[in-house]
Amino acid sequence: MAGHTHAIQFAALPYKVENGQPLVLLVTSRETKRWILPKGQPEKSLKPHEVAKAEAYEEAGLKGSVGKKAFAGFDSSKRLKNGVELPCLVKVYLLRVEEELAEWPEKRQRERRWLTPGEAAAIVGEPGLVQVLLDFGTRWA
């Protein structure tokens, strides 16, 4: 991405509601095994929310309905193969999970876990993502 100082990625925030309480799903990143949201690069043929939905399927085996408007955005960094960290804006789209598949494309490369927004905020490393998760949690409080 030469010439771009700011990369952009589209993330899904997968959630379901159990007994009136929201739960969110995180996946592990492939390289560093950090807990993250499923996310991907912009694709010419897909709208941003469609990218988020596709990544939730590929990375976490989730199907559901996705909001067309971004719920939130946060600053992150994307680590390139050469170790360089690029500043990156992550736009987050809510995905109401309707189906969890037992098999999915990246099953053997990632773990997935349901957590309360507070639990999720406690284990993700990125301050911006912590805030998004806490904001999501307070919407239900």
78: domain CATH number is: 3.90.79.10
Confidence of residue 22 (pLDDT cuts 50, 70, 90): very high
pLDDT of residue 81: 79
Mean pLDDT in residue range 24-51: 95
Position 4 pLDDT exceeds 70: no
Look up the domain containing 78 and give its range.
Answer: 7-140
- 2 occurs within a structural domain: no
- 17 occurs within a structural domain: yes
How far is Cα 66 from Cα 29, in angstroms, rounded to an integer? 22
- 82 occurs within a structural domain: yes
Looking at the structure of the chain, the number of domains it has is 1
pLDDT digits (tens, 9 = 90+) for 112-131: 999 999 999 999 989 999 99
pLDDT digits (tens, 9 = 90+) for 78-103: 777 788 888 999 999 999 999 999 99
- 84 occurs within a structural domain: yes
- 48 occurs within a structural domain: yes
- 86 occurs within a structural domain: yes
How far is Cα 17 from Cα 75, in angstroms, rounded to an integer? 27
- 83 occurs within a structural domain: yes
Confidence of residue 5 (pLDDT cuts 50, 70, 90): low
Position 6 pLDDT exceeds 90: no
- 1 occurs within a structural domain: no
